[in-house]
Amino acid sequence: MPEQSLYERLGGEAAVTAAVDIFYKKVLADPALKPFFDGVDMKRQARHQANFMTYAFGGPNKYAGKGLRAAHMRLVKGKGLGEKHFGLVAGHLQATLRELKVPATLIDDVMTTVGGTKADILGL
């Protein structure tokens, strides 16, 4: 029997959708991160993020967006997105998963996956 993907171990679509909803509430309440979302259609953004997370965690690929570097380049160059912000976002994701009572081993797996995106997101 093949090992379950991280997506499946987290609880699939319902779990990812719940996490994204809580996650963006935390991100938008953070004064250091809120300006990055000025003028963004958050319903569309949440759907896009859920599709990306599903793909990144080994679920069905419904992600049709730009690559991470291209998607974040204007934020890096135009708004100063940097390591501090990446850390804040990762922290909000971790707090969201704890709030949802995700086991620590799965949170570690998620954070490892997210950490692996840092260079692309920040253009390093």
Spell out the residues 6+ positions from residue 7 whose beta carbon is closer than 8 angstroms to its own: 16, 54, 57, 58, 59
Q: Is residue 47 part of a domain?
A: yes
Domain count, the chain: 1
Q: Is residue 63 part of a domain?
A: yes
Report the chain (124 residues): mean pLDDT per 10 consecutive residues: 85 94 96 94 92 90 78 89 95 96 94 90 87
Q: What is the pTM of this model?
A: 0.89
| Domain interval for residue 38 | 6-122
Q: Is residue 1 part of a domain?
A: no
Model pLDDT, residue 84? 95
**Angstrom distance (rounded) from CA 122 to CA 86:** 8
